[in-house]
Amino acid sequence: MKITAISVYRFDIPLKAPIAISLGTIEHARNILVQIDTDTGLTGWGEGSPFWMIAGETQASGLAAAPDMARLLLGREATDVGGCVDTLARYLPNHPTTRSAFDMALYDVAAQGANLPLYAYLGGSKRPLITDETIYLDTPERMAEIARTMLAKGPEAIKLKLGTDAPTDIARVRAVRQAIGDAVPIRTDANQGWDVPTAVAVLRAIGDLNVQYCEQPLRRADLAGLRHLRSLSPVPIMADESLFDAADALRLAREEAVDYFNIKLSKSGGIWEALKINAVAEAAYTRCMIGCMSESRLGLTANAHFASARPNVAFCDLDGCFEHAHDPIQGGLSYHPYRIELPDAPGIGATVDPAFLADCEKWVFD
């Protein structure tokens, strides 16, 4: 099954409102869409969500790199996913999000060729998956108000963005806990916003408020700080920005720096590398979460297939499309309201509305 053509799209999706984290504010989902066509008539779709503040990529840099990546793959065997992805990684190692879109499209084609849904192609089975929902940075009062609204939908966990100053972050968690009662776990994410003393102060203050974990409290390179914080914190620590690839996973495991790993396909370079990260995690007895950037339901469906195929993925944070003002995806996963239902169609099981695609800027390589 040879790759005969690759199309790259500027995949812009408006948000309902700007969303804020400690690293900055996002006003639009400016994503990259890749379509891979083969000589068998099968077509694969992949999506990357560049987050300059996390992955160091923008949509513009990704679209600049994509033509070279596309030309490297033309004429290659589409089912040689690992060989294709390794070729892209050797050529442009610092473009994981752009690479992830190609990786995802390759896996879509390969799974379709095997006539298997992606979770089965990855050697797994369909299992129950439940996502949390995120409340972005705002005043404690406004975050509590949003949490009360979410509570009516029956969440199994609510995620709070933190990472400013200790008094305000503590007030945010306390306000939400008071608003929703004691039963629903709270997950927190500081996005590198604290130093060790601030992190210790916040996590000790919220340690008795049923907080499941804290994502990336410190700067990504501060593994010694993470290890020290882990020894002091009553709240488990999860690596996010410190974890891009399997080499990062191995360093985190050797340092015993965190309790959990957060795997994101747009951050890791796609499924090929994510499988390696999870293998390291399994060897280190470290459970994982599958997370997201601001993907549409296409990218989120691929993330969910990965989670379903790997039981070591214990948590799901696949709510990125909840903030989108428009859903351009046909098929794909569905939410009920937080339970995720995966499609059983071969491949990822999601495509893009042709009418939406017609308005997207497009480049074709054949």
Residue positions forming the annotated binding site: 189, 215, 240
Alpha carbon distance 180, 182 (integer Å)? 7
Annotated binding site for Mg(2+): 189, 215, 240
Please, which residues have CB within 8 angstroms of residue 292's CB and are 6 or more apart in sequence? 49, 264, 266, 299, 300, 303, 317, 318, 319, 320
Alpha carbon distance 339, 125 (integer Å)? 16
Greatest C-alpha distance within the chain: 60
Q: Cβ(158)–Cβ(176) under 8 Å?
A: yes
Q: Cβ(303)–Cβ(264) under 8 Å?
A: yes
State the catalytic residue, choosing from 2, 153, 161, 276. 161
Of 342, 346, 343, 362, the closest CA to residue 354 belongs to: 362
State the catalytic residue, choosing from 2, 126, 264, 276. 264
- In the residue annotation, 153 being an active-site residue is answered as no
Q: Which amino acid is at 3?
A: I
Alpha carbon distance 282, 309 (integer Å)? 14
- In the residue annotation, 16 being an active-site residue is answered as no
Alpha carbon distance 203, 62 (integer Å)? 37
Q: Cβ(247)–Cβ(280) under 8 Å?
A: no
Of 349, 335, 339, 263, the closest CA to residue 306 belongs to: 263
Phi first, then psi, for residue 259 (nearest 5°) are: -90, -35
Catalytic annotation, residues: 161, 264
